Amino acid sequence: MTTADKSTMADRIHEKLTAAFQPETLEVEDESWRHEGHSGARPGGETHFKVEIMCEAFAGKNRVARQREVYRALKDEMEGSIHALELSTRAPGE
C-alpha cells in the first residue's frame, strides 16, 4: 500500500489545491456524515466536502471563474469520488 492509498480524500483535495494555488489559507472538511442516506452518499463517506480557500490567484476574478479553477484542479476527484463540493473562494483582503 502506498502513501497515496492511505490518504483520505480530504488529504488529496488539500494536496491538489495547495499545489495548484499556493493558498494563504485552506480548510477542507469532510461533511459526508451530514448526508448519510441522501443521494450520492456512500458507506464510509468521503463524498461531500466543504472547502474554504484564499489565494492571490483569485484576485480580480469573479466567483464563477474561481470555482471553475478549483473544479479544474480537482477534475479527477469530481469525476470519481466526490459527489458534492461546497466552495468559499476568496482573494487576500476579501
Number of structural domains, the chain?
Answer: 1
| Widest pairwise Cα distance in the chain | 42
**pLDDT tens for the chain, residues 1 to 94:** 344 456 899 999 999 999 999 999 999 999 886 656 566 555 556 788 999 999 999 999 999 999 999 999 999 999 988 888 999 999 999 9
What is the four-CA torsion angle of 40, 41, 46, 48, rounded to 10 degrees? Answer: 60
The CATH number given to whatever domain includes residue 33 is: 3.30.300.90
pLDDT of residue 2: 43
What was the pLDDT predicted at 1?
A: 36
Residue 32 is predicted with a pLDDT of 81
CA distance linking residue 88 with residue 85, whole number of Å: 10
Domain containing residue 80? 3-90
